[in-house]
Chains A and B, each alone.
Chain A
C-alpha cells in the first residue's frame, strides 16, 4: 500500500521539525513514565506492605526482658547478675493462660561455626605441626586449641600450644567433648559458619517448615542433652556436596551435632540457616548454657490480628504476676511496622501526586505545542479543504501526525516506566513481574495520547477553508 499524498505531507512535516518533534515525544514519554512508575511505586509498596504485615512474623507478640530492650546503654559489668532476669523456654507456659495464642516458641538468633578444629598440618595423633593450633590427646579426650593464635608484642604468632585455663565454673572454651577417633574421622564441611536460630518445636509449625528428611524438633529434643541440628535445604547442599545430610555428624564449636533433619525448600532466608534446640538451662547451677538463654525472647503467635492488643494485655498480666510489674518488655512488631508503613504511604502519596502533576504539566505543554504547530499549518489545512478534504479527513490527517508523536511518546514512556519500576522493585527488594504496570502504562498512554492529540486536532479541523486561506 502506498502512502497517500496527504499522509506524506504530515510525515514530511514531522521530519521538517525534528527538534520540536523529539521534544514533544520526550514530553509525553516523561509524563507517562513518571505517572506509571508512580503508580508502580504505590502498588509495589502497598502489596509489599500487605505481604509483610500478613507474614507469620507480624502475627507475633514478642516478650523479652527489660534489659534486652533498654540495657544496651548500661555497661554489662554494672548490671548485677542477681538483678538480671533471664527468660527461658519454660516461660512459654504463659500460653496456657491465653487461649488466643496459636503457637508459642523461642527463636533466638545465633551463629554457628562448623568444622573440626584440627587445622591443616595436625596429624591423627594430635601432634601439632601447625603454627596455628594444636590437638592434645589426653586420656582419649581431646583438648583442641585452634583458631586462637595469641600473638606476642611483635605481632608474631605464639607457637606454644595454649590450652587456656579452665574458668571457675569448669567452663573451658577450648575443650571439646568429642572423642578423638571420632574427631579425626570427621570430614571437613564445605561451609565454615552459618546463621542459625535456637528454636523450640512450635517455631516450625508457626512458619510452616517441614522436614524433607528426618524430622523437626520435638519436645524430647529440647529436653535431651544430645546435640542435634536441623539444616535449611540450601545450607545442607552447601555443607555436604553429595546433599545427603540427614544422619551425619558435624562439629559445631566443641560439640558433635547429629543432623536430625533437613527442611524442605521454602524460598526464604530459612533455606540458608541452621536450627538447634533452645534448651532449658539450669539457671540455679553452673550450667554454662544459661549464657545461651541470655537474651531469650518468647514469641506468641496470634491468628486473629484484631486480637493482638488484647492478647498482649493478657500476656503482660501473666508476666507481671511471675516477675513483677514492668520487668518484661512486650511488643507487637505489627504495630511498629504499621507506623512505618503509614509514614511510607504518606511519602509515596506525595510522590504519586508529584508524578501526576508531571503528567498534567506534560499534557498542558504538549497540547500547547501541538496547537501552535497546527495553527502554523492553518493555511495548509484550508488549502486541503479547498482541494476536497472533508473535516473528518483533516482530523484523520492531523491525527496521523499527532498519533505518531503520541504513540512514540507513549511507547518510550512505557519503557521508561518499566525501567523505573524495575529500579523501584529492586530497591524495595520485591520480586515477581507486575503486569499491572504494563496494563496501566498502556491505558494511561492511550488516554494521554487521545487527550493530547485529539483536542487540538478536533479544534483545528473545524476551521472554515476561507478563513484558513485568508490567514497568511
Chain B
C-alpha cells in the first residue's frame, strides 16, 4: 500500500540544519497495525506527517499504491488526505465552534457528500462509538475520551484506508486510553490500516508491527505473530 524509499527530512534553522529523518525505508501493507515508537524528539511525528502527506521529505520517494505522491498537485494531495487517510491527534484537534456531529461531517463536505448523507453517516459513526446522546454537544461539553472518540469518528467519516494516530491516548486517563485502543483495534480487525505513534511500550506491543525510531533512523523493527 505504502512504500517509503530512502526518506530524509532536514529542517533548516538558518545556520544549522537538523536531520529529523535519515534514510527511512519502510513498506506498509493494507490491514497492517503499525506502532511507531521512540523517545521524544526522535522523529516519530515527522515520520507520521510525511506518511500523512502533511509534510514532505527533503529527499527519497513515497509511493502510495505505486504512485509517487510528492509530485502530485496540492489539490490531489488534499483529495488523498481526505478520502484515503484519517487523522487522530493527541490533542483531539476538534473545532470548538462546531458540534460533535458537525465536526464529523466536515471532512465529508470536502469529499462532496450531500448534507443529508453526511449527517446520516456522522450520526451512525457517533452512535457506533457510543456518542448518540452527544451529537449536538460542543467539544467543550465533552470529556477527553468522548472528544477523542469524536475525532476517531471524524477520521472514519470518509471510510479511509489508513488511520494515522499520533499518540491518541496521550491526553487521556488509562481507562479512556484503553477504550480508544480497543476502538482502533476493532477498526483494524475490520480491515483498516492503522499507524499509531506512541512512546508507551505496552501500547506498542499490541500492534502487529513495530518500528523504533531514534535520532531520525529506524533503530529496529519487529513483526509480532
Interface residues of A (CB under 8 A from B): 2, 4-6, 8-9, 12-13, 16, 379-380, 382-393, 464-467, 469-470, 472
Contact = CB atoms under 8 A, between A and B. Distances in A.
B75 A392 contact: yes
Contact of B78 (A2, A383, A389): A389
B79 interface: yes
A25 to B, nearest CB: 20
A387 to B, nearest CB: 4
B52 interface: yes
Contacts of A379: 93
A85 to B, nearest CB: 88
B106 A387 contact: yes
Nearest to A12: B97
Interface of B: 45-46, 49, 52, 54-55, 74-75, 77-79, 81-83, 87, 89, 91, 93, 95, 97-98, 102-103, 105-107, 109-111, 115, 154, 158
Contact of B54 (A4, A16, A391, A464): A464
26 contacts: A5-B98, A5-B103, A5-B106, A6-B109, A8-B102, A9-B95, A13-B97, A379-B93, A386-B87, A387-B110, A387-B154, A388-B78, A388-B79, A388-B81, A388-B107, A388-B111, A388-B158, A389-B78, A390-B77, A390-B78, A391-B78, A392-B75, A393-B110, A464-B55, A465-B55, A469-B93
Interface of A is mostly: helix
A469 B89 contact: yes
B93 A383 contact: yes
A437 B81 CA distance: 49
Nearest to A472: B91
B199 to A, nearest CB: 17
Given A385-B78, A386-B87, A388-B83, A12 B107 contact: no
A387 B115 contact: no
A9 B97 contact: yes
B78 A5 contact: no
B98 to A, nearest CB: 6
A380 B95 CA distance: 7
B109 A12 contact: no
Contact of A389 (B105, B110, B154): B110
A178 B77 CA distance: 105
Contacts of B74: 390-392
A190 B110 CA distance: 79
Nearest to B154: A387
Contacts of B105: 5
Contacts of A387: 81-82, 87, 106-107, 110, 154
